[in-house]
Amino acid sequence: MDKSARDRRRSLILVTLCTFLGAAAQILIKSGASSIHAQGLVPTLLAMLFNFNLVFGYSLYGVSTALMVLALRYGELSILYPIIALTYVWVAILSILIFQEHISLFKAFGIGVIVAGVGVLGKGSKS
């Protein structure tokens, strides 16, 4: 495998990791937001600042953004960026498992469209 192929592969791995980190961040943010019961602007802001799940969730977003920068150094934006859409898939799955959210037929269809779209773009990148 030549260097450019290794760089493209590394970029795909990094952006896929970004999808997992982004999904974990969203779950943590939802969990943190649900636990805030303060009333008023200042108490709510203080509660947000000292909420571990919120702070850690936003920190994961920061790490994900840094990894995306590294991924974009050698990968094609038109291929890598749509992969980020997989974050929605992971969030939907985690929401079902963690928050016992229900998924409608239309949501399931939408998730299928996202997965198919990412797959089509991935196949298109090999030509």
DSSP string spanning 76-110? Answer: -HHHHHHHTTHHHHHHHHHHHHHH-----HHHHHH
CA distance 124 to 81: 14
Is the pLDDT at 4 greater than 80? The verdict is yes
* Percentage of the chain modeled with pLDDT above 70: 96
Domain limits at 15? 3-124
Question: Which residue type is seen at 80?
Answer: L
- Total of domains in the chain: 1
Q: Tell which residue, 121, 118, 124, has the closest CA to residue 19.
A: 118
Note the pLDDT tens digit of each residue in 24-76.
Answer: 999 999 999 999 999 999 999 999 999 999 999 999 999 999 999 999 988 88
Supply the pTM of this predicted model. Answer: 0.85
